[in-house]
Chain A
C-alpha cells in the first residue's frame, strides 16, 4: 500500500510517493517525481504524474490508498475570472454592498487605477435582487418580515436566466439567520438542484461586505472546483487508482473532496500552504521548532514564520485573493515578487531594480535562449558560477551562459558603469535585500526574534539564497530539506485533516455575567459538536480528534481582533483570566503594547478540529563520517561568493552524501532540482533525516 502527494504549480506538477512499512522490510520507501503541468486541465498532468511515479516505484495504481492534492484550480478561477454566473438575494436598500466594498481604492497616488470588484464583479448587478426583509441589531429581532413572494419571483428569474449558483446575503444574518434559511428553502422549492448557500453558512461572522464577498466567492468558484475534483476522482478511477482523495486547504490542513466542493473558499491558498507545512515537517525531522520557511520559485517567494512548531494563521482582516476579501483561515504567509526569473534593470530615474517584473517560465531567463534578453536573478547566478550549465534540472535543460553575460553587460554594466561581476553581485544583493525585508516584516515586526529561528530554504531557488538571507536576518542556521524542489508536495503527506467553524458573539468578557459565560460555552460547544461531526463523517474516531478553541478578542472599541486561547474545560468567571492573559500577551507580541486595565470584548468564537493522517517518514540517510567526502565530489570550478571573491569551489552530489558528513565552505551541493550554496566561513552537515544544515563556523 502507498500514498501520494501531488502539488500542481504553474510550471510543474510535483509528486511524492511513500510506501508503507519499515525500511528494513523493504517498505517505507519514498519516491519523488516531476511532470509538466497541464494548465488547460490540471487533472491530465496529475494522472500522468501519478501513473509515472507508480511505475517508478513499482507500485500498482490500485495499491494507492490515499492521494493528497494541492491544487490551484480555485485560485486560477479567480485570476482568470472564469467562475460561475451567480445570483444573489440581498436586503432591500443594500443591493450594492459587493460593488462598493469598503470604498477604499487600491492605490493612493493614482487616478487610472482598476477596481477589481467593480470591473470584474463576482455577482453582476443584474443578478443582485433586493428582497424586502429586515433584522435589527443588536438583538436580532425582526423589524420587517421576509417577503416570500419576492424571494420566489427572484428564484424564478434566476431559473429563467440559468444561473449556476445562488447566494442569500441578508444584513445582520449573523444575529439571526431565519430569513436567510427560509429564503434558501424557497429557492430550493423553485430550483431543487441549485448550488445555493447562505452568507451565514459560508462564514458566520459580523461585517457585511466581507461575509457577502466570501459567500459570493464560494459560489463563484464552487461549480468549477466541484467539477474539477469530481472529474479528477473519476479519471483516477478509470486509470485504476481507487484511492481516498484529500485536498490541501489554505489553513494547512486537508479536507475531503466533499468538504472542498462545499467550501472551495478554504482551498484558495492550497499550494503555498503545502510549502509551509513541508518546511514545518523538515524542521520537525531535525527537532527544530522555531522556523522561518522561505519558498523561492521562478517569479515569487513565499515567506512564513512558524513559531514553536505551530503554523500561524493570518488575521482575518488580511485574508484576500485577487483583491476580494475572503474570510477563510489561511496560513500567515507573505508573497513577494522575487524569484529566479525576477528581472534586473535600471529605471528611468537611474535606480537599480530587481523584480517584481519576472521573465517567468516563458521566455524565462536569458540563458534559456528562448528569447529573453533582460538579465534575471538566475542569469546573475550563472555569471557568478553558482549554477553550472550542465546541472539545470539534472541536465534536462540546456542553457547558455554567454547569453546571461550579454544580458547583464547590455542592460546593467553599461548604464551603471559596473564590471560584470559587480553587476551580478548587485542583482543578488538587491533581491536578497527585498526578501530579507519581507522576512523582517513578518518576524521582527510581529515580535519574533529571528536569532532563535532556523530558516528552512526550499523551492527551486531557495537553497541558493538561504544562507545569505539567514545571515541578513540573523537566523541561527539554514535547513535544506531532502527534496527542496518538491517540498510543497512533501507537505501534503505531512499534514492533518482540519476543519474550522466560527460564530460571532460580541460579548464584553471583562464584564460578563454568569449567563453570558454560559452563552459563550453553549456557542463553543455547538461549534465543537459541528467540528467533531465533520471529522466523524470522514471516518475519524473520537479518540483521534484534536479540538482547539479560540476566542478572537479586541479591546472594547478597537476594530481588529487577535486570537486568545480558551482555557481547558468550560469558561468560568474565574478562569476567564487565562483567556484574557493570552489575549494581552498576543497584543503585546504583535503591537509592542498591551492595555491590561481595559475592557476586552470577544467578537468571534472559532473551533479548529484536526486529526492526524499519518506523517510522512523520510528514510534515514545511510550513516557516514568525515569531511568533504571524495566519493561525493563531482568537480571543482571557479565560483564568486557574496564577499566578491572567487574561489575554486568543489561541487558535491547530494545523493552521495551520508549522514554525519560535513562539508566546508566554499562549496556547492547539487541535486536534481536544486542547488545549495555553502559560502566561505560556513559548514554544511548532513543530518540523519536527510536534511542539510548550514551554519556559520564559529570564529576561533
Chain B
C-alpha cells in the first residue's frame, strides 16, 4: 500500500497506534476464548493481527512470542500459491512449511481486507492444531519427510466470496484424529479474522485510508528506531556462542552443533548460523522463514526492549524486524531443503535465542540472563476410547530461567519464545484417561549456583489409566544451561518411565520419543532442565542461602558445597564456619 505522502501529526499517530493494538488484542481474545483444544484455549498457542498489502505487520496480539512475527512469511507463501485472485469474503488456510509456515500444525486463517473495491491489507491469525493427521497422534519426531506431517494446505480457500467450501471442510474433518476439537478451533479462527476485517474497515472509515497507511508506516519507523537505538549502543564487532542439541531422535547420542555469530555494525545486527548442524533425516529441522528468522527477531526485542524494564509500549510491527538480518545456509538444520520434515523445531530455535544472549552477554551483561532451559518439552498423550474415538492431548511442560543481574531465575516457567498456560490437573482428570501423580519442583538436583541462582525445573508425572501412545519432542538432556560471571552451570533434563505397580523400577528414556506404546498404569515423568547461576555464589548473602534451605530450594549440603554457607543441624547459620569455608573457597578459585 503506497499512501499519499501526507503528514500525520504525533497525536493522531498515537490514536491510530492505540486502535491497532486494541484490534489485535480483540482478535486474539475471540480466538482463544472460543476455541476447543487445550493447546489454544489454555496454552494460548496462537497469534492474530492485521497486515498491509505488502505483508508488513501492522499489529499483533500479545499471545505466544513464537507466533508473533511469523505471519508475514505465511502471507508471502499464500501470495505465491493462491489459485484464484483474492475477493471479498475469502478466507484462506495455509500451513506449508516450505511456503512460509512456522510449522505445519500452526494453520493460518487469512482474510483479505478490501476498501472501496481495492485490496488494502489482510486480517490473519495462526493457531496450533492438536492433530492434523500426521504419522503419529499430535506430534512427530522420526518421520521420513514433510508428507508424514499430515494435511498440507497451500493458499487454499476455505471460504470463497463468503461461501464455505464444504468439500474441503469435510476433507479436514475426515483427516484429523480429533475432528470435534480441530473443526471448533477453525471456527474460532474464522470468527477472529472476520472481526479483524470489520475493525480494519472501521478504522479506515474513521481516519481515511491515506492517514491510516501513512500512520502505520510511521509506527513501523518508530518501532525500528527504538530497536536501532539499542543496537547502536552495543560496540561493533562479532560475538560468538555455541552449544549442542542431544540428537535428531533417530541417530541416538549423535549431538548436533548450534553455532551462532552475532555481528553488530552501527545500528544493525546480523545473526549468522553457519556451522550449525546439517539438516537431519527426521522432523527435527526448522523452517527458515516462519521459525528461524522469527527466533532471531524475538531475541533482540526481548533482550533490548525488555517490557519489564522499559515503560513505553513499543508497537509490535514489522519495524522491529528491519534492523536484523538472519543467515543460515541451505541444507542446514535451520534452513532445510524440501522434502525434509520440519515439524519439531522448537528446541532448536530456543537454543538460537539462548546462544544470541550468550554471545552478547559480555557486552550487555545487565540485559541478559545466565543460561535458561531454552528448550521445550511437548508431549502428545493419546489413545483410543472404548467408543473408538481418539483422544489426543498435547502438554507443554515448563522450563526454568537462568539467574539474572538482579534477581534469581524464576522456577518452573515458560521462558524465551514460549509462553503457554498449563492445563489444570483437575480439568484434565475429568476428561481424559490420564491422571497426574506429581507436579512440583524437581528435588533430585540443584540448579546453577550464583549470586542469583538459576531457576528450578519441574517434575511432572502422568499416569496412563488405559493403554495409549506417547510422542515426546524435547532436548537438553546432555548440554546443561550455562552459568555466567562465576555462576555455575544448571542441569539437564530427564525423562523417566515406571509402572505404578513397581514404582522403584525406573527407566531413563531419551528426550525424543516417537509413538511409544504404554500400558495402563505406566507413568511418564518429565524432569525439566534447571537454569544456570549468575554471578559468584560466594557473594550470595549467607542469610539468603539459609532462607533457601528453610524453603527446600537448596539442601544443607548444597549450601555448604556451592555457596560455602554452613548451617547447624537446627538450620541456624554458623557464621564463623561460613566465613572460614568461604575464605577457603575463594582462595581455591583464585
- List residues of chain A with CB within 8 A of the CB of B426: 137, 171-172, 174, 206-208
Take A95-B440, A208-B426, A437-B19 as given contacts and tell me if A353 and B412 are in contact as well, using a CB distance cutoff of 8 Å: no
B425-466 vs A, CB cutoff 8 Å, 1 = contact: the mask equals 111011000010111110000000000000000100100000
**Inter-chain pairs besides A353-B312, A426-B9, 14 sampled, C-beta below 8 Å:** A102-B421, A104-B44, A104-B422, A108-B307, A109-B306, A110-B302, A111-B302, A111-B372, A113-B307, A172-B429, A208-B424, A354-B14, A433-B14, A445-B26
Interface membership of B580, Cβ < 8 A: no
Take A96-B412, A593-B191 as given contacts and tell me if A350 and B222 are in contact as well, using a CB distance cutoff of 8 Å: yes
Which of these, B307, B311, B314, B410, contacts A357 with CB under 8 Å?
Answer: B311
Interface membership of A429, Cβ < 8 A: yes
Bound-complex Cα distance A113 to B36 (A):
30
- List residues of chain A with CB within 8 A of the CB of B429: 136-138, 172
Interface membership of B420, Cβ < 8 A: yes
B91-113 vs A, CB cutoff 8 Å, 1 = contact: the mask equals 00000000000000000000000
Q: Which of A76-84, A269-277, A554-562 contacts B (4 or more CB under 8 A)?
A: A554-562
B36 and A555 contact, CB distance less than 8 A: yes
Interface membership of A430, Cβ < 8 A: yes
Bound-complex Cα distance A124 to B64 (A):
30
Interface membership of A575, Cβ < 8 A: no
Which of these, A105, A109, A348, A590, contacts B413 with CB under 8 Å?
Answer: A105
**A interface residues, tally (CB under 8 Å):** 69
Interface membership of A351, Cβ < 8 A: yes
Interface membership of A347, Cβ < 8 A: yes
Bound-complex Cα distance A103 to B64 (A):
13
A82-104 vs B, CB cutoff 8 Å, 1 = contact: the mask equals 00000000000111110110111
Interface membership of A209, Cβ < 8 A: yes
- List residues of chain B with CB within 8 A of the CB of A560: 33, 41
Residue of B nearest to A96 (CB): B440
Jot down 23 A-B pairs with beta carbons below 8 A, ordered by A. Answer: A93-B437, A95-B440, A100-B411, A100-B412, A100-B458, A102-B422, A103-B398, A103-B412, A112-B309, A112-B405, A113-B410, A126-B552, A207-B424, A349-B225, A349-B226, A349-B314, A351-B14, A352-B13, A357-B311, A426-B9, A437-B18, A557-B180, A595-B184
Nearest Cβ on chain B to A365's Cβ, whole angstroms: 19
Take A100-B412, A105-B414, A109-B302 as given contacts and tell me if A441 and B22 are in contact as well, using a CB distance cutoff of 8 Å: yes
Q: Which of A114-122, A403-411, A652-660 contacts B (4 or more CB under 8 A)?
A: A114-122
A206 and B369 contact, CB distance less than 8 A: no
Interface membership of B126, Cβ < 8 A: no
B407 and A119 contact, CB distance less than 8 A: yes
Interface membership of B68, Cβ < 8 A: yes
Interface membership of A506, Cβ < 8 A: yes
Interface membership of A615, Cβ < 8 A: no
Bound-complex Cα distance A559 to B184 (A):
12
Nearest Cβ on chain A to B308's Cβ, whole angstroms: 4
- List residues of chain A with CB within 8 A of the CB of B384: none
Bound-complex Cα distance A352 to B415 (A):
32
Nearest Cβ on chain B to A428's Cβ, whole angstroms: 9
Interface membership of A107, Cβ < 8 A: yes
A209 and B14 contact, CB distance less than 8 A: no
Take A96-B412, A559-B41 as given contacts and tell me if A430 and B552 are in contact as well, using a CB distance cutoff of 8 Å: no
B439 and A93 contact, CB distance less than 8 A: yes
Residue of A nearest to B25 (CB): A441
Interface membership of B566, Cβ < 8 A: no
Q: How many residue-residue contacts, CB under 8 A, span A and B?
A: 226
Residue of A nearest to B22 (CB): A437
Bound-complex Cα distance A118 to B18 (A):
32
- List residues of chain B with CB within 8 A of the CB of A430: 11, 14-15
Interface membership of A440, Cβ < 8 A: yes
Bound-complex Cα distance A107 to B309 (A):
11
Residues on A facing B (Cβ under 8 Å): 93-97, 99-100, 102-115, 118-119, 124-126, 136-138, 171-172, 174, 206-210, 347-354, 356-357, 416, 426, 429-430, 433-434, 437, 440-441, 445, 506, 555, 557-560, 590-593, 595, 598
B65 and A111 contact, CB distance less than 8 A: no
Nearest Cβ on chain B to A541's Cβ, whole angstroms: 39
Bound-complex Cα distance A114 to B407 (A):
9
- List residues of chain B with CB within 8 A of the CB of A351: 10, 13-14, 17, 222, 312
A348 and B30 contact, CB distance less than 8 A: no
**Which of A95, A104, A559, A593 gathers most chain B CB within 10 Å?**
A559
CB contacts under 8 Å to A, within B370-404, are 372, 398, 401, 404
Take A207-B426, A208-B426, A555-B184 as given contacts and tell me if A103 and B413 are in contact as well, using a CB distance cutoff of 8 Å: yes
A109 and B298 contact, CB distance less than 8 A: yes
A591 and B427 contact, CB distance less than 8 A: no
B404 and A104 contact, CB distance less than 8 A: no
Which of these, A119, A125, A347, contacts B312 with CB under 8 Å?
Answer: A347
Interface membership of B56, Cβ < 8 A: no
B22 and A440 contact, CB distance less than 8 A: yes
Interface membership of B34, Cβ < 8 A: yes
B41 and A97 contact, CB distance less than 8 A: no
**Which of B357, B369, B413, B414 gathers most chain A CB within 10 Å?**
B413
B32-44 vs A, CB cutoff 8 Å, 1 = contact: the mask equals 0111111001101
Residue of B nearest to A593 (CB): B191
Bound-complex Cα distance A558 to B30 (A):
13
Nearest Cβ on chain B to A350's Cβ, whole angstroms: 7
B18 and A94 contact, CB distance less than 8 A: no
10 closest Cβ pairs, A-B complex: A137-B429, A559-B41, A125-B551, A93-B438, A352-B10, A96-B440, A103-B398, A113-B308, A207-B424, A557-B36
- List residues of chain B with CB within 8 A of the CB of A93: 437-440, 461
Interface membership of B557, Cβ < 8 A: no
Residue of A nearest to B15 (CB): A433
B14 and A100 contact, CB distance less than 8 A: no
B427 and A207 contact, CB distance less than 8 A: yes
- List residues of chain A with CB within 8 A of the CB of B438: 93-94
Nearest Cβ on chain B to A334's Cβ, whole angstroms: 12
- List residues of chain A with CB within 8 A of the CB of B223: 349
Nearest Cβ on chain B to A107's Cβ, whole angstroms: 5
A109 and B410 contact, CB distance less than 8 A: no
- List residues of chain A with CB within 8 A of the CB of B427: 206-207, 559
B306 and A111 contact, CB distance less than 8 A: yes
Nearest Cβ on chain B to A436's Cβ, whole angstroms: 9
B311 and A595 contact, CB distance less than 8 A: no
Residue of B nearest to A119 (CB): B407
Interface membership of B145, Cβ < 8 A: no
- List residues of chain A with CB within 8 A of the CB of B552: 125-126
- List residues of chain A with CB within 8 A of the CB of B425: 94, 171, 208
Bound-complex Cα distance A113 to B550 (A):
25
Residue of B nearest to A352 (CB): B10
Interface membership of B301, Cβ < 8 A: yes
Which of these, B25, B29, B311, B404, contacts A112 with CB under 8 Å?
Answer: B404
Which of these, A97, A441, A559, contacts B42 with CB under 8 Å?
Answer: A559
Interface membership of B195, Cβ < 8 A: yes
- List residues of chain A with CB within 8 A of the CB of B63: 108
Which of these, A108, A112, A113, A172, contacts B62 with CB under 8 Å?
Answer: A108
Bound-complex Cα distance A387 to B42 (A):
48
Nearest Cβ on chain B to A485's Cβ, whole angstroms: 28
Bound-complex Cα distance A357 to B302 (A):
22
- List residues of chain B with CB within 8 A of the CB of A437: 18-19, 22
- List residues of chain A with CB within 8 A of the CB of B9: 426
Bound-complex Cα distance A138 to B430 (A):
5
Interface membership of B330, Cβ < 8 A: no
- List residues of chain B with CB within 8 A of the CB of A112: 306, 308-309, 367, 369, 404-407
Interface membership of B303, Cβ < 8 A: yes
Interface membership of B553, Cβ < 8 A: yes
- List residues of chain B with CB within 8 A of the CB of A558: 34-36, 41, 184
B369 and A94 contact, CB distance less than 8 A: no
Bound-complex Cα distance A175 to B260 (A):
52
B61-80 vs A, CB cutoff 8 Å, 1 = contact: the mask equals 01111001000000000000
Nearest Cβ on chain A to B31's Cβ, whole angstroms: 10
- List residues of chain A with CB within 8 A of the CB of B415: 105, 111
